[in-house]
Amino acid sequence: MLDVLREVVAEILAVEPDSITEDSKIREELGADSIDLVEIVYALEDRFDVTLSEDGLRGVRTVGEALDLFGEKQ
C-alpha cells in the first residue's frame, strides 16, 4: 500500500518516490497545497476503491497518517 501511495503522491507533487517516507510531512516537506491534497485523496480513493469522509481527512499531516487512514478502509 505504501508503494501505491508513494506513486500517487510523487506523480501529483512531482517529487521522487524514493524521497517519500511514512514520516514525510505532506504539506511542509512535500509541498502539497489544498488542491494537491484533494487530487491525492481522489486518486487514492480510486486506487483503493474506498471513500473517505472529510472528517477523516482533517488532521492528516504525514504520509504514514494517510496510509493508516486508507488502511482502515481496506
Report d(CA 4, CA 47) in Å as an integer: 8
The number of folded domains in the chain is: 1
- Summarize pLDDT for 13-53 with one digit per residue, the tens: 999 999 999 999 999 999 999 899 889 888 988 988 888 87
pTM of the entire predicted model: 0.83
Residue 10: CATH number of its domain: 1.10.1200.10
Q: Taken in order 52, 70, 66, 37, is the CA torsion positive or negative?
A: negative
**Which ranges of 1-74 would DSSP assign to H, the alpha helix?**
2-13, 34-48, 54-57, 63-73
Please state, for a pLDDT cut of 70, what percent of the chain lies above it.
91
Section 56-67 average pLDDT: 84
Report d(CA 74, CA 44) in Å as an integer: 12
Reduced to 3 states (helix: H, G, I; strand: E, B; else coil), residue 14 is coil
C-alpha cell at 32: 502539497
Residue 54: pLDDT band with limits 50, 70, 90? low
Domain limits for position 22:
2-73
